[in-house]
């Protein structure tokens, strides 16, 4: 006799089935490309059954550097994937309406295995796409590969590539998480876990850690180039960085360059801003909480003549010596 699952688990599985059904017709993944010659960016959307976005333009660019052009008929996945996702949607619906615990556990295990296989297949495609290059291409960079990131950001020559799930992908992930919750309820893990304060604390730590912002990268003198003025970073004391919502890091040789770049590239969503601590050894600090002094005797590379400090007292001491005032981030005017 099968063990009945709870009403809560049934609803979770029904919702999971709906999520999967919707994911068949909406884009599952997207890869965005940005470069100076394409200020608005290029986008490739991957559906379960087709490609969308700027496919023609991307194919034209691929031709010059010897990458494979993208054609839907070359992907057997577009023939199979809608039916596979549909199968799992029906399986979760059946499990929610008629199934017992054993079927639930089997459904979840099979779904996880499918997800792993799908990501491995996607990585394999990206690897072949970025490594199998035409030796007779117009532009050849020795040793260069153009494999897009599986997830996140990667710099490919002058293009920044950003890979992330689209709405269908998030629905797919959501379906898996809801199914996992149902399994946890039926196996009794959820109740035990909720009663353990240590586990709850660890979960919160993990949650905040996973959602934490990307860390900046230390500037390298005479190697890193300012994103705005295109000059090499010559004095790290005045260096700055910003990180976009896509995780791309933009480096600058002067605070003025970072602010000017932000104003002239409003379509790029900047989430984080950093400046080097004038008194530290190439140490980037949060620009929004730093303290600043601005004076003609503070000679910065591109004329902002502004030095940043992590501590207000340090900035005040420096300001007192050169007879100027201490400013906050909001008080800076360029």
How far is 73 from 76, CA to CA, in rounded Å? 7
- The residues, any chain, with a CB within 8 Å of residue 314's CB and separated by 6 or more, are 279, 291
Give me the number of domains the chain comprises.
Answer: 2
Q: Looking at the domain assignment, is residue 222 inside a domain?
A: no
The β-bridge partners of 251 are 241
Same domain, 200 and 252: no
If we measure between CA atoms, which residue out of 192, 171, 24, 17 comes closest to residue 99? 17
Same-domain status, 167 and 247: no
Q: What is the pLDDT of residue 119?
A: 94
Please report the pLDDT score of residue 134 as a whole number.
Answer: 81
244 within domain boundaries: yes
For residues 291 and 198, membership in a common domain is answered with no
Q: What is the pTM of this model?
A: 0.64
Residue 202 pLDDT: 57
Same domain, 124 and 17: yes
| 169 assigned to some structural domain | yes
The answer to whether residue 221 is domain-embedded is: no
**Domain closes at, from 170, 192, 210:** 210
Phi, psi torsion values for 22, nearest 5 degrees: -65, -35
Residue 45, domain extent: 7-210
Q: Give the pLDDT means over successive 10-residue stretches in the chain (334 positions).
A: 80 96 95 77 91 89 81 90 96 90 93 95 90 80 82 82 92 95 84 58 52 75 89 91 85 92 84 92 92 91 90 93 92 74
* Predicted pLDDT at 306: 92
Boundary-marking domain end, from 169, 194, 210: 210
Same domain, 146 and 266: no
Say if 203 falls within a structural domain: yes
Output the DSSP codes for 274-330. Answer: EEEBTTSSS-EEETTT-EEEE-TTS--TTS--EEEESSHHHHHHHHHHHT--EE-GG
Residue that has been written with the tokens 């959307």 in this structure: 45
DSSP H or E run through 164: strand 159-165
State whether 182 and 260 are in the same domain: no
Is there a domain that residue 90 lies in? yes
Same domain, 160 and 102: yes
Q: For residue 189, what are the CA distances in angstroms to 4, 56, 171, 205, 262?
A: 17, 50, 24, 19, 48
Q: Considering only CA atoms, which of 127, 128, 108, 104 is closest in space to residue 116? A: 108
Q: Is residue 274 part of a domain?
A: yes
9 CB neighbour count, 10 Å cutoff: 23
Count of alpha carbons within 13 angstroms of residue 307, beta-carbon side: 26
Q: Is 283 among the domain residues?
A: yes
Kindly compute the dihedral angle of the four CA atoms of residues 132, 138, 142, 145, in this order, to the nearest 10 degrees: -40
Task: Label residues 298-318 b or e (16+ Cβ within 10 Å = b).
Answer: bebbbebbbbbbbeeebbeeb
Asked if residue 242 and residue 206 are part of one domain, the reply reads: no
Domain match, 27 and 132 both: yes
> Does residue 246 sit in the same domain as residue 195?
no
- Alpha carbon distances (Å) from 82 to 24, 91, 96: 6, 14, 21
**CB neighbourhood size of 85 (10 A):** 23
Strand order from edge to edge, sheet including 29-35: 51-53, 38-46, 29-35, 159-165, 152-156
Q: Looking at the structure, do residues 206 and 240 belong to the same domain, yes or no? A: no
Q: How many CA atoms lie within 13 A of 147 on its CB side?
A: 14
Do 51 and 183 share a structural domain? Answer: yes
């Amino acid at each position: 006799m099968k063990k009945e699952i709870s009403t809560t688990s049934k609803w979770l599985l029904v919702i999971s089935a709906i999520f999967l059904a919707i994911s068949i017709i909406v884009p599952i993944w997207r890869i965005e490309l940005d470069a100076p010659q394409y200020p608005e960016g290029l986008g490739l959307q991957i559906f379960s059954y087709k490609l969308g976005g700027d496919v023609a333009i991307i194919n034209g660019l691929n031709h010059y550097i010897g990458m494979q052009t993208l054609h839907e008929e070359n992907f057997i996945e577009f023939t199979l994937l809608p039916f596979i996702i549909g199968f799992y949607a029906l399986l979760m619906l059946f499990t929610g309406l008629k199934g017992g615990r054993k079927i639930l556990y089997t459904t979840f295990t099979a779904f996880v295995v499918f997800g792993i296989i799908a990501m491995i297949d996607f990585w394999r495609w990206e690897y072949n796409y970025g490594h199998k290059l035409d030796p007779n291409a117009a532009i050849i960079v020795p040793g260069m590969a153009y494999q897009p990131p599986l997830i996140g950001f990667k710099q490919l020559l002058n293009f920044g590539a950003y890979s992330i799930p689209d709405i269908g992908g998030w629905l797919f992930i959501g379906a898996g998480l809801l199914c996992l919750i149902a399994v946890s309820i039926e196996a009794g893990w959820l109740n035990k876990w909720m009663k353990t304060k240590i586990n709850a604390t660890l979960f919160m730590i993990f949650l905040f850690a996973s959602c934490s912002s990307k860390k900046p990268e230390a500037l390298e003198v005479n190697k890193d180039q300012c994103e705005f003025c295109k000059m090499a970073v010559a004095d790290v004391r005045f260096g700055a960085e910003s990180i976009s919502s896509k995780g791309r890091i933009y480096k600058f040789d002067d605070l003025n360059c970072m602010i000017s770049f932000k104003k002239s590239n409003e379509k790029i969503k900047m989430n984080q801003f950093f400046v080097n601590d004038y008194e530290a050894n190439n140490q980037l600090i949060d620009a929004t909480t730093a303290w600043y002094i601005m004076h003609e005797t503070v000679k910065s590379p591109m004329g902002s003549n502004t030095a940043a400090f992590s501590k207000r007292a340090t900035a005040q001491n420096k300001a007192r010596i050169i007879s100027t005032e201490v400013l906050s981030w909001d008080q800076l005017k360029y």
